[in-house]
A and B are shown apart, each in its own frame.
Chain A
Amino acid sequence: MKKKGLALLMSLLFVSSALLSACGDKGAEKPSGGTEGAASNEPFEITIRHTQVGESKKFRLALLNDVVSKTEEAVPGLKIKLDAVDSEVNRKEKLRGEMAAGKPPEVFDVFGSPDAGVYSKEGLMLDLTPILEELGIKDKFTTLDPFTHEGKIYGLPIGGSIEGIFYNKDYFAQKGLTVPKTLAQLEQIAEAIKADGKIPFAQSSKDAWIPLMTTNNLWSYYAGAEVTYGFKTGETKWTDPKVVEGVKKHQEWVEKGYFKKGELGFEYADMRNQIISGEAMMMMDGSWANSVFRDPAQAGDMVGKIGYFNLPPVNEGDPVIVMQDANNGYGFSASVAEDPRKLQAVKEFIKNMWTDEMQLRGLKEDGVLPAMKMDLATMNSTSDDPLMQDIFKGVSEIKYSFPAFDALVQADVNTALSMGIQQVIGGELDAEKMLENVQAAQEAANAAEE
């Protein structure tokens, strides 16, 4: 009987201890170190969640490692733990789960819009405004709009980008084609390429954001760079005639056969392959694509043969309006504010990461445009690659820029637009009907926010 009781007791003890250890708060075991002041040398740790995973991001990882070393040297007792996670996994699963639990890492890779907006609204992200003012870099960024929520800055972009047209320079030279100054001239070039049996524009539309780069730039030319800002406030409508005209132009290009048939089934990489293989002669893409065309392993013989120009305006001499954005960067946990030593570490990280030197290094090694303001001469001096020089020229020509539409409209509107552009490309809907649907989604999203 005694043995039985002992067995029962031991079993209960085992189960309860297993449960208690599982429920234990790991964080509670550690001394916070926060109350001892910034001057203490006692070791403490912060985690940086980054997405520099794989061969293509090795330069960016090296840059991050250098910043980490500098930061550790500057802050006594600091140990930075690097946590590498795939970008999509971090964005859609890991960071969201941590945010839901209220425990994001101290520093984390984050997209400005809509992600940082949602997290900061819940008080989960550190307000960087006073830190940027203290460091004197608040006004040094090209744009902080995607990371700004109710006038406060919650994140910093790591790099910037513009959208424009990559083209086959050799082909243009052979056929006597020149960089167009108007949309009509661009269409003439497209007709000439089509008549030659080639595809004018490489495009993959399996992911709707890819064709929407073209649509976004077109409607901004027709309706103005500011038009997209007004959809959320109700000042402008998707059904405004000028917006319709812009989307109709895209529809017209599809109907004229300027894109390869079956584009709705092609992956992003396919459109780059269309350019590299010489099947297509032009391609609307973000400036980040330069890394592909400068890499012999990816572009082969095409290295040095690809140029870049901005989508030209409707009329010659009109201002150049181009999407210029900086939506990906780092955010910081609001909990950092409770610990002076961690706050000091974060300040030091920002001080070391967002410098002219690091931005130029990103540009030189990785082809990522600076997120911080920089004059053309400085950029030119960084890279003598002809494609980069074309992109720098593109940047210098921009009169008005705007962020990508998805930074300015609600996620539901983005979904409706994505669905709509695929329907237009597939010939299911025309531009007017598509935009009526988008406007309906916009009104529903605006009403839900009131």
Chain B
Amino acid sequence: MNKALRNPLIYIVFVLPAFILFLAFFIYPIFTAFDNSFTSWNGISKDVKYIGLDNYVTAINDDAFWKAVKNNVYFILFSCLIQVPIIVIFSLLIANVKRLKGLYKTAVFAPSIMSTAVIGILWGFIYNPDFGLMNEILGLVGVEPIYWLSDRKWAMIAILITNGWQWTGFYIVMVLAAILSIPKELDEAAAMDGATGVQRATKITLPLIMPIISVVIMLSIAGAMKAADIILVMTKGGPAGSTDVMATYMIRYAITSFKHGFGNSIAVLIFLFTIIVTVLYQVLIARRNERIEY
């Protein structure tokens, strides 16, 4: 048996099924998407016409596409600048509570296991201009009713808040696991040396969990670039396209209009933009935080 396991052919045979599935469902679709993006294919016809870079030129010259890209950027900025600090603060707070830690963990994690459709309906009620919780609370301090999902000024913010609410708990649990894995001695030693709670959090815990925060940011960026479901459920990209992101732009302007060639070019652009942003993040920021030595 040992001899058999030393034969590379055996390994190839066992790897082959998974490799074929990987090729069929991951690599092949990526290549076909690239290929189709240079065509005017309607998704049905056998007669596929190559049109060079026309689809990319159409997208790049379309203001609506850049509006959608801008909304993706808002998603990224909201995730990195608002959501991540909240995740870190809540993780530190939950890590240091003495009682009911399990309850807090479960409570913050719950939204991430709910389906986006349910969350969309739930927050639809919260944002309702007539009886929604949001306007009720704001009304207490004299704020006029806000048309959260109907007003282009507020619709994107409303979606970002909802999306943040859905995923914050998931990342909190990840960060919490990292905090709880830090050897207690480090914290205790700092405390004995007279470090305050804030000092221990910022000078000891935070630097030690930077790798996991880096992963959280990476996942947030990737999630922000492919966001679509929460928008479709809450505003369908409206009002008047003001909450369209690249993925919903692709559905609105390509897939529903039988323009699969154009749709594939948008998919390729999403893929390329995501790679560029994540590589930039890796090269410029994340690499510095990779190694931790206790």
Do the beta carbons of B44 and A419 come within 8 Å of each other?
no
Smallest CB separation, A103 vs chain B (Å): 12
Q: Is A266 an interface residue (CB 8 A)?
A: yes
Do the beta carbons of B46 and A265 come within 8 Å of each other?
no
Q: Is A411 an interface residue (CB 8 A)?
A: yes
Q: Is A426 an interface residue (CB 8 A)?
A: yes
Q: Mark A266-279, 1 if CB is under 8 A from B, else 0.
A: 10000000000000
Given A118-B42, A118-B44, A411-B256, answer yes or no on A263-B150 (Cβ-Cβ < 8 Å). yes
Q: Which of chain B's residues 1-17 have a Cβ closer than 8 Å to chain A? A: 3-4, 7, 9-10, 13-14, 16-17
A contact residues around B148 at 8 Å (CB) = 265
A contact residues around B252 at 8 Å (CB) = 415
A51 and B149 alpha carbons, distance in the complex (Å): 31
Q: Interface centre among A99, A426, A428, by most B CB within 10 Å?
A: A426
B contact residues around A15 at 8 Å (CB) = 13, 16-17
Given A19-B20, A122-B45, A261-B147, answer yes or no on A4-B13 (Cβ-Cβ < 8 Å). no
- Residue in B10, B150, B239, B241 whose CB lies within 8 Å of A7: B10
Q: Is B253 an interface residue (CB 8 A)?
A: yes
- Residue in B14, B44, B151, B238 whose CB lies within 8 Å of A99: B44
B contact residues around A119 at 8 Å (CB) = 44
Do the beta carbons of B42 and A426 come within 8 Å of each other?
no
Do the beta carbons of B240 and A428 come within 8 Å of each other?
yes
A contact residues around B151 at 8 Å (CB) = 262, 264-265, 426
Do the beta carbons of B4 and A11 come within 8 Å of each other?
no
Q: Is B236 an interface residue (CB 8 A)?
A: yes
B interface residues, tally (CB under 8 Å):
38
- Which residue on chain A has the smallest CB distance to residue B154? A265
Do the beta carbons of A264 and B150 come within 8 Å of each other?
yes
Given A262-B150, A411-B258, answer yes or no on A122-B238 (Cβ-Cβ < 8 Å). no
Do the beta carbons of B44 and A422 come within 8 Å of each other?
no
A415 and B257 alpha carbons, distance in the complex (Å): 8
Q: Which of chain B's residues 222-278 have a Cβ closer than 8 Å to chain A? A: 235-236, 238-241, 252-253, 255-259
Q: Is B200 an interface residue (CB 8 A)?
A: no
Given A92-B256, A122-B46, answer yes or no on A262-B147 (Cβ-Cβ < 8 Å). yes
Q: Mark B58-73, 1 if CB is under 8 A from A, else 0.
A: 0000001000000000
Q: Is A26 an interface residue (CB 8 A)?
A: no
Q: Is A245 an interface residue (CB 8 A)?
A: no
- Which residue on chain B has the smallest CB distance to residue A424? B240
Q: Is B152 an interface residue (CB 8 A)?
A: yes
Given A11-B10, A11-B14, answer yes or no on A266-B150 (Cβ-Cβ < 8 Å). yes
A413 and B41 alpha carbons, distance in the complex (Å): 19
A contact residues around B155 at 8 Å (CB) = 265
B contact residues around A265 at 8 Å (CB) = 127, 129, 147-151, 155, 235, 239
A423 and B238 alpha carbons, distance in the complex (Å): 10
B contact residues around A122 at 8 Å (CB) = 44-46
- Residue in A114, A124, A261, A264 whose CB lies within 8 Å of B239: A264
Q: Mark A101-127, 1 if CB is under 8 A from B, else 0.
A: 010000000000010001100101000
A58 and B148 alpha carbons, distance in the complex (Å): 37
Q: Is A8 an interface residue (CB 8 A)?
A: yes
- Which residue on chain B has the smallest CB distance to residue A423? B240
Do the beta carbons of B240 and A422 come within 8 Å of each other?
yes
A contact residues around B29 at 8 Å (CB) = none
A426 and B243 alpha carbons, distance in the complex (Å): 14
Do the beta carbons of B147 and A11 come within 8 Å of each other?
no
Q: Is A3 an interface residue (CB 8 A)?
A: yes
Q: Is B139 an interface residue (CB 8 A)?
A: no
B contact residues around A262 at 8 Å (CB) = 129, 147, 150-151
Given A8-B10, A263-B150, answer yes or no on A422-B257 (Cβ-Cβ < 8 Å). no
B contact residues around A419 at 8 Å (CB) = 64, 240-241
Q: Mark B31-60, 1 if CB is under 8 A from A, else 0.
A: 000000000001111100000000000000
Given A100-B43, A207-B236, answer yes or no on A118-B258 (Cβ-Cβ < 8 Å). yes
Do the beta carbons of B45 and A18 come within 8 Å of each other?
no
Do the beta carbons of A96 and B238 come within 8 Å of each other?
no
Q: Is A39 an interface residue (CB 8 A)?
A: no
Smallest CB separation, B233 vs chain A (Å): 11
Do the beta carbons of A124 and B150 come within 8 Å of each other?
no
Smallest CB separation, A118 vs chain B (Å): 5
A428 and B272 alpha carbons, distance in the complex (Å): 33
- Which residue on chain B has the smallest CB distance to residue A208? B238
Q: Is A89 an interface residue (CB 8 A)?
A: no
Chain A residues in the interface with B (C-beta under 8 A): 3-4, 7-8, 11-12, 15, 18-19, 92, 96, 99-100, 102, 114, 118-119, 122, 124, 205-208, 261-266, 410-412, 414-415, 419, 422-423, 425-426, 428
Q: List 24 A-B contacts (CB under 8 A).
A: A3-B4, A4-B3, A8-B9, A11-B13, A15-B16, A96-B44, A100-B44, A114-B258, A119-B44, A208-B238, A264-B147, A264-B239, A265-B127, A265-B147, A265-B149, A265-B235, A410-B257, A415-B253, A419-B64, A419-B240, A425-B239, A426-B150, A426-B151, A426-B240
**8 closest Cβ contacts across the A-B interface?**
A265-B150, A411-B257, A265-B149, A422-B240, A264-B239, A262-B150, A262-B147, A264-B150
Chain B residues in the interface with A (C-beta under 8 A): 3-4, 7, 9-10, 13-14, 16-17, 20, 42-46, 64, 127, 129, 147-152, 155, 235-236, 238-241, 252-253, 255-259
For the complex with contacts A100-B44, A265-B127, 11 further pairs of A-B residues with Cβ separation under 8 Å are: A18-B17, A99-B44, A206-B238, A264-B239, A265-B129, A265-B155, A415-B252, A419-B64, A419-B241, A422-B240, A426-B150
